[in-house]
Structure 1
Amino acid sequence: MIITVGNTKGGVGKTTLAVNIAAARAIQGKDVLLIDADRQETAQTAISIRANNEVMFGIACSTYADGPILRSQLLQQKDKYDDVIIDAGGRDSTALRAALVLTDILLVPYRPGSFDVWALQDISNLISEARSMRDGLKVYSIINVADSNPNSIDNREAASIFSEYPELEFIPSHIVGRKAFSNAAGAGRCVFEIKPQDEKANSELKNLISILFGC
């Protein structure tokens, strides 16, 4: 399974989600490759911290911010792993475009309160381009770093805008802006691996993993 966490807008928590997803799959016994396709290489730094701390269940990590290189390396390596998670930079890039042609699932996170409609239109256009070149691209959208009150105005407004873009299947269960997610990702881990446990964060990640991987 190849999953890309991507958006043409930055600051929506892509890397935090990508690292949490990768680590969650690793502790489920999967061989995981995390590709950092963001020039900031934050995911690479996080996985290096994980390795240096000798955390059980290792995660392979590569950096390919250039589209043609990402494509060639992904084609060479994808069969060696159970899952490939791509953290695509927060802009329209050659890496994001290359990922969309090869990925099984695109996860598009958006942050309420800083919602930019232009970014939805941009990613929608890229999805249409990718689907014109290949079949089977599944796309989910999710509100990330959401308000803890599911009925907050920001959450409701973000959810309502998604209804205008049916090509992005909206996941109604949000990822709340909990410290557990960012603290875990900063150490190259997922919320299942840190203490004290945040059961609400665990439940949100478990639900997302179930939707993405069907397990």
Structure 2
Amino acid sequence: MIVTVGNTKGGVGKTTLAVNIAIARALAGRDVWLIDGDRQGTAQTAIAIRAEAGHQPGIACATYPDGPTLRSQVQQQRGKFDDIIIDAGGRDSTALRAALILSDVLLVPFQPRSYDVWALEDIAALIEEARSVRDGLRAYAVLNCADPGEASADNVGAEEAVAQVPQLELLQTPIRRRKSFANAAGQGLSVLEAKPLDKKACDEISALVNALF
């Protein structure tokens, strides 16, 4: 399956989720290819740190910030992998547009902030364009870096706003703001591997992965 983690809004935590999802699938025994579609190359850097530290399983990773290159490489090599996870940059780019046409699933992280919610209209327009040339694209939104409180007014307001964007289905698997995500990412790890184990973070990532796959 091909999953793109993307949004036209930057700073929503796409790379952290993409790396965690890729590693979670690899830990489950899947052959995974992580593609960094962002010129900043943050996902590639995380996987390089992982490789240098000798963490297993290893994750295949490539950087294709150019849409035509991303498209051609995925078309050529998709049969070699069980799952392909594409981390698309936080803007309307050729890589993001190519990824949408190739993907089975789009995951749109957003944070409980007005700017993030307003930006969902932009990604919704791109989803409509992709669906006009590719049938079957499933598009989900997930609340990322959610406020810790279960009944946070910001969380609730953001989720209600997503309901007004018909192109997106809101997953009931919020990822809350936890230091363990940043700590794990700095080591090229998923929260599923990092020590000390943050059980709540692990449960949240596991729920998200289960919902996607």
- Alignment TM-score, normalising by the size of structure 1: 0.97
CA distance in 2, matches of 1:172, 1:210: 11
1:112 corresponding residue in structure 2: 112
2:24 corresponding residue in structure 1: 24
- Three-state SS of the structure 2 residue aligned to 1:115 is helix
CA distance in 2, matches of 1:102, 1:51: 27
CA contact (8 A) 1:20 1:184 kept: no
**Residue by residue, what CA displacement relative to the aligned partner does 1:72-126 show, whole Å, maximum 9, x if unpaired?**
0010111101110000000000000000000010000001125344411110000
**Is 1:83 aligned to 2:78, yes or no?**
no
CA contact (8 A) 1:115 1:158 kept: no
Would you say how many aligned residue pairs link Structure 1 and Structure 2?
Answer: 213
1:122 corresponding residue in structure 2: 122
**Residue by residue, what CA displacement relative to the aligned partner does 1:116-157 show, whole Å, maximum 9, x if unpaired?**
444111100000000000111011101100101121111011
1:192 corresponding residue in structure 2: 192
Which deviates further from its counterpart, 116-125 or 170-179?
116-125
1:159 corresponding residue in structure 2: 159
Aligned 1:1-215 pairs, distance under 5 A: 1-213=1-213
Shift of 1:172: 2.2
- Three-state SS of the structure 2 residue aligned to 1:23 is helix
CA contact (8 A) 1:23 1:188 kept: no
Structure 1 residues 90 and 173: CA distance shift in structure 2, 3 A: same
Structure 1 stretches (4+) deviating beyond 6 angstroms?
none
Structure 1 residues 108 and 60: CA distance shift in structure 2, 3 A: same
CA contact (8 A) 2:145 2:177 kept: yes
- Three-state SS of the structure 2 residue aligned to 1:140 is strand
CA contact (8 A) 1:141 1:169 kept: yes
CA contact (8 A) 1:104 1:136 kept: yes
Question: Tell me, which stretches of 5 or more residues in structure 1 are unaligned?
Answer: none
CA distance in 2, matches of 1:174, 1:116: 15
- Alignment TM-score, normalising by the size of structure 2: 0.97
CA contact (8 A) 2:106 2:138 kept: yes
CA distance in 1, matches of 2:21, 2:116: 25
- Three-state SS of the structure 2 residue aligned to 1:108 is strand
What letter matches 2:149 in structure 1? N
CA distance in 2, matches of 1:173, 1:21: 13
Which deviates further from its counterpart, 182-191 or 63-72?
182-191
Which deviates further from its counterpart, 36-45 or 180-189?
180-189
Shift of 1:193: 0.4
